[in-house]
């Protein structure tokens, strides 16, 4: 007995025992700390993954909107203007023209009649006017797209109105130029009228395809949901990001095409191969009959879409609840803490009312995501 007690006393007094005993006692604490660190890492990774999914999905969804708005801004004048700008073929003046030295091109025949708007800053006639405008600077916040000398005032509004020129028809070539210059129906006149109609038919086709693509892409917040699913993989594809998607669904943007039907083109009553000029006469075309469709001019946002864009400029808040992973302590943290992630997403352009589609379009919408 004495020997056993003596051995215990020696062991306790031994330095190694003084270290080993506390280590054995602290081992469970160390194991617990390791488990806690592991579980906390799981929680952190889950939140980071959910936050990234929300941010990435919101950016993808709103990029569809900004891309669509920029496409509308392009077809609403800059695109057809650039094509029409290539029609710089000079027109010879007749001998009795008031100003035979004045330079007039095919571009002027259409532009001065209000057939399309031009990029600023010059809006005059001839090579020194609208056709000679420089390419807008990258930092420009307005391209100053305007019709010639106040024409189409009823069109140049957020809610455009029909304002006919003559006999409930839209005049798309300048009668004064056709009276004093050779813009013959048997030559360049008819050819360029066809080209003009083709340009705006194709522009209308671009608008229709862009609208279809946008609506199909953002339907039921498809872009957002798929992006959220691919970045989390912890939810059913149809239900991923359901809470945030419900907010995004309220911001689908609508546009309306402004199309014309009854048109009038003035051409020269000339004689092929002759220098005779007997004034001008009108050619009336109903586009719905001639082309089986009205002639697209531009597209504008509905009042509801403009209201939504003002909200989008300030930014909208997206919130999404998520489920925390199971842990080794069998504690339901999801039920206890109700975790969620949130962010703010905005779509804006350099204009106070956030309408850069029509009038005065400029394709400079961008998306910003923040927390």
User: Each residue of 84-130: pLDDT tens digit?
Assistant: 999 988 998 887 777 877 888 999 999 999 999 998 888 766 556 78
Q: What is the C-alpha R_g of the chain? A: 35
The yes-or-no verdict on residue 64 having pLDDT over 80 is yes
Sheet with strand 340-348: strands edge to edge: 316-321, 340-348, 366-370
Beta bridge partners of 347: 367
Reported as a pLDDT band with limits 50, 70 and 90, residue 81 is very high
pLDDT of residue 334: 79
Query: In Å, what is the CA distance from 168 to each residue of 133, 163, 172, 197, 261?
Result: 32, 8, 13, 19, 10
pLDDT of residue 103: 85
Q: Model's pTM, two decimal places?
A: 0.87
Query: In Å, what is the CA distance from 361 to each residue of 158, 260, 309, 352?
Result: 11, 20, 15, 14
pLDDT of residue 302: 97
User: CA-CA distance, 234 to 365, in Å (whole number)?
Assistant: 33
What is the DSSP pairing of strand 262-270 with strand 170-171?
parallel
What digits encode the pLDDT tens for the residues 39-57? 677 778 889 999 999 999 9
């Amino acid at each position: 007995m004495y020997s056993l007690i003596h051995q215990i006393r020696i062991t306790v007094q031994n330095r190694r025992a003084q270290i080993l005993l506390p280590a054995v006692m602290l081992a469970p604490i160390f194991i617990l700390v390791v488990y806690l660190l592991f579980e906390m890492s799981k929680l952190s990774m889950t939140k980071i993954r959910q936050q990234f999914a929300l941010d990435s999905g919101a950016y993808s969804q709103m990029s569809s909107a900004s891309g669509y708005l920029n496409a509308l801004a392009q077809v609403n004048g800059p695109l057809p203007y650039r094509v029409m700008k290539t029609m710089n073929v000079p027109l010879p003046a007749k001998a009795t023209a008031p100003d035979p030295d004045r330079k007039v091109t095919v571009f002027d025949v259409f532009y001065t009649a209000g057939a399309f708007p031009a990029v600023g800053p010059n809006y005059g006639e001839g090579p020194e006017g609208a056709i000679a405008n420089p390419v807008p600077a990258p930092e420009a916040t307005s391209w100053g797209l305007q019709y010639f000398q106040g024409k189409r005032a009823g069109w140049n509004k957020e809610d455009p109105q029909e304002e006919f020129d003559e006999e409930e028809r839209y005049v798309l070539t300048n009668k004064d130029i056709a009276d004093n210059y050779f813009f013959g129906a048997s030559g360049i006149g008819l050819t360029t009228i066809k080209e003009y109609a083709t340009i705006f038919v194709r522009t209308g086709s671009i608008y229709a395809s862009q609208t279809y693509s946008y609506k199909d892409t953002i339907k039921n917040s498809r872009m957002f949901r798929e992006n959220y699913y691919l970045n989390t993989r912890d939810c059913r594809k149809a239900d991923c990001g359901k809470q945030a998607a419900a907010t995004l669904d309220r911001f689908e943007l609508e546009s309306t095409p402004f199309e014309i039907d009854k048109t009038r083109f003035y051409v020269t009553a000339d004689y092929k191969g002759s220098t005779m000029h007997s004034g001008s006469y009108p050619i009336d075309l109903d586009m719905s009959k001639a082309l089986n469709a009205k002639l697209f001019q531009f597209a504008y946002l509905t009042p509801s879409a403009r209201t939504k864009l003002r909200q989008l400029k300030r930014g909208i808040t997206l919130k999404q609840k998520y489920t925390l992973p199971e842990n080794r302590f069998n504690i339901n943290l999801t039920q206890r803490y109700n975790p969620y992630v949130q962010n703010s997403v905005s779509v804006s352009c350099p204009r106070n009312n956030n309408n850069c589609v029509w009038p005065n379009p400029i394709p400079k919408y961008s998306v910003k995501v923040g927390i």
